[in-house]
Amino acid sequence: MSAVLCPFHLAIPVDDLARCRRFYGERMGCPEGRSSARWVDFDFFGHQLVIHEVEGHAGLAGRNRVDGESVPVPHFGLVLSMADWEALRDRLVAARVRFEIEPTIRFPGEVGEQATMFLFDPAGNALEFKAMRDPSRLFAK
C-alpha cells in the first residue's frame, strides 16, 4: 500500500439531523461543509464525514470483548496524535459527553499500547478515538 494517507469519506445514518449536527459541529468541533435538508457533511479531522437522516436507524449491532472491555461493534473513529487525542478528550470531558468506555490506556507495556476512548453520537453510532505514543507501531504485531 502507498505510504500517503488519503482522506476517507464515510456516510453514516442518524435519526435526528439537527441533534447530530450539533453533536459533530459543537461538541466534537468539526467544521461543517455542504448540507441539505437530509444530510450534512463535516471536516472530521481532515476526513469527510456525512450524516444522513434515515428513518428507523437502529444504531448498534453488537459487542466484542477487547482487553476486558465490551467494545461496541460496528464503530469507527480515528487514530490521532497523542496531543490531539488529549485535546479531544479534554473537550469532550468539558462538554460532559458520556463515554461508553472512559479514556484510558489499553494494552499497557505491550506492542499495541494505545490511548483510547469510546462514545456514541446521539443517533447511536459508536465512535473510537485512539492514539499511540509511537505511531509507527500502529500495525506492529
Give the 3-state secondary structure of 46-75. CEEEEEEECCCCCCCCEEEEECCEEEEECE
Task: Grade residue 29 by pLDDT with cuts at 50, 70 and 90.
Answer: very high
CA 62 and chain centroid, separation = 17
Comparing CA positions, the residue from 56, 49, 60, 46 lying closest to residue 9 is 49
Looking at the chain, the domain(s) classified CATH 3.10.180.10 span 1-55, 62-141
- pLDDT of res. 64: 85
Q: Which residue has better confidence, 93 or 67?
A: 93
Q: Which CATH architecture has domain 62-141?
A: Roll (3.10)
How much is the pLDDT for 60? 63
List all residues 6 or more positions away from 17 whose beta carbon is below 8 Å from its beta carbon.
38, 39, 40, 51, 53
Predicted confidence band at 41 (pLDDT cuts at 50, 70, 90)? very high
- What's the pLDDT score for residue 30? 96
Mean pLDDT of the chain: 91
pLDDT band for position 87 (cuts 50, 70, 90): very high
Q: Which homologous superfamily does the CATH classification assign to the domain defined by 1-55?
A: 2,3-Dihydroxybiphenyl 1,2-Dioxygenase, domain 1 (3.10.180.10)
Q: Which amino acid is at 90?
A: D
Kindly report the pTM of this predicted structure.
Answer: 0.86
Q: Is the pLDDT of residue 1 over 70?
A: no
Q: How large is the average pLDDT for residues 107-128?
A: 92
12 or 57, higher pLDDT: 12
Kind and range of the H or E element at 53? strand 47-53
